[in-house]
A and B are shown apart, each in its own frame.
Chain A
Amino acid sequence: MGGSEREQQLSRAFVALADTLVADYDVIALLDQLVGHCATLLDADAAGLLLADSRRELRVVAATSEDAELMELLQLQADEGPCLECYRTAAPVSVADLADTPTRWPVFCAAVEDVGAFRSVHALPLRLRGEAIGALNLFRAAPGPLPGADLALGQALADVATIGILQERAIRRGEVLTEQLQVALNSRVAIEQAKGVLAQLLDMGMDEAFDVLRRYARQANLRLADVARAVVSREVDGDALLAARRGRGPQPSEHGRRGR
């Protein structure tokens, strides 16, 4: 990507994020946008975001692909890996080539080799008052370091994510961080459940099902989590969602407008 083209994309991304933050926004959609920006703007093939829940356990809240999500899950399962270390130390962790670090995270590295999708990982903390509340992770298929400028940008995007999570509801009511995280994580579960419903109903893969869900929410101006809940409780049928994907407008009136 040419320098000026990337700069333009970058400014557009930050303007879009800033717009999102002043409106009544959907934190899951914001985090989803953020990992998307990371994969397009930075020298990364995929990105994922982990947040700590109320029991201090990390959970995946956004990922650009099922492969990226799998990478996060492998670390959670192995209870080791760059993203976990980044969260625990609240400092960035860069691994240019996972093949060089078999002893640092033996279980995780063995699992990654089996999957074979990614070779390098760069983990950036979501920091708040010196502590980490989660981690943003960039994955690349090819080994190698991430350029310094990309790391700085990635950290800026991670900071936007932190602000986004903190702001979402604090704007309206003075609530603590954990509640926001908990609600975001629960929304994530609802979205996974809804992806399953759509995958079965419309006979498609999970990535495609997520795409359908996202487009529908965007076109209907509904929160992703609200659409997910309506899908799981079967209040909205697959055809309406498919119509949204084909570009015809959905009929959002039954599901309540965004913002309560």
Chain B
Amino acid sequence: MNELGPVTRELLGFVRDGADDKALAARICQACVTGLDVDGAALSLLTATDARQTLWATDPVAEVLEDLQFTLNEGVCMDAARTGIPVLVPDLRHHAETVRWPVFAVAVGERTAVAALFALPLQWGAVNLGVLDLYRFVPGGLSEAQYLDALAAADTAALMLLDHRTDPGNRFGGFIDHALGHRAEVHQATGMVLVQLAVSAEDALARMRAHAFVHRRLLVDVARDVVARRLVFTEDMS
């Protein structure tokens, strides 16, 4: 198989240094602009139906693109967030695209000189954390190597953000908990705890991580106890 691309390597190289969500998003966006053939990038959170927030945009054009989509409730990043599937538009002025996003395509043409747009969802199972949006003034797709890199980078970015948001105090060490991406028990336990506490999947994961930290245990061991019904989360437990 191919080697990891430069953007993914850059992201994996980030040391966990207490950067907040915004600083992290800035580094992810910058890594994309440096490593891929794009002119700008933005990272927005689109969680919990209507709560939308652009964490970072590398330049005013990237910011306009995010604002337009949120205002019009239409566009590449909205589709990526809804479907959990990357949306690649080599040329927004192409007829097929103007039909797909009639209002958005026209608005982008009026306000910017952007031609190509690539929206990569930041997905954690059923949960969409946000979207990484890339744009270029010159039309054309990403090369296969660039696209692979962008996908792996988005996947890494999703885990980093998830890590941040379920561990706001940076207490639990290692920035990507490798268990997170792989272990069925962690996902199953997340589902169980979200019912037990009537919270979102993200919050359920945060609670499990906090519990693991307080009791000096591994997240996966806590998850196993939840799945085996040896541990039930309640409102008032630590």
Q: Chain A interface (Cβ within 8 Å of chain B)?
A: 52-57, 59-60, 69, 73, 76, 131, 169, 175-176, 178-179, 182-183, 186, 189-201, 206, 228-229, 231-233, 260
Contacts and interface: CB of A to CB of B under 8 A. Distances in A.
A54 B155 contact: yes
A193 B201 contact: yes
A197 B148 contact: no
Given A176-B144, A229-B126, A193 B151 contact: no
Given A55-B152, A192-B191, A183 B85 contact: yes
Nearest to A59: B182
Contacts of A193: 125-127, 187-188, 190-191, 194, 201
Contacts, number: 114
Interface string B182-218: 1110011111111110000100000000000000000
Given A232-B125, A260-B83, A57 B191 contact: no
Interface string B106-134: 00000000000000000111110000000
A197 B1 contact: no
B151, B152, B184, B196 — which one has the most chain A CB atoms within 10 A of its CB? B184
Contacts of B126: 189-190, 193-194, 228-229, 231-233
A98 to B, nearest CB: 22
B1 A56 contact: yes
Secondary structure type dominating chain A contacts: helix
B4 A55 contact: yes
Interface in B69-113: 83-86, 88
Contact of A199 (B84, B183, B188): B188
7 smallest beta-carbon distances between A and B, as pairs: A196-B191, A189-B125, A192-B187, A232-B126, A190-B126, A54-B152, A196-B188
A228 B127 CA distance: 11
The SS class assigned to the B binding surface is helix
A192 B8 contact: no
B42 interface: no
Contacts of B147: 176, 178-179
B44 interface: no
A53 B158 CA distance: 14
Contacts of A52: 1
B168 interface: no
A194 B191 contact: yes
A69 B182 contact: no
Given A53-B155, A55-B4, A232 B191 contact: yes
A127 B48 CA distance: 40
Contacts of A69: 184
A183 B85 CA distance: 7
Contacts of A60: 182, 184
Nearest to B48: A233
A200 B192 contact: yes
A73 B182 CA distance: 8
B93 to A, nearest CB: 19
Given A55-B152, A69-B184, 5 more contacts: A194-B191, A196-B193, A196-B227, A229-B84, A233-B126
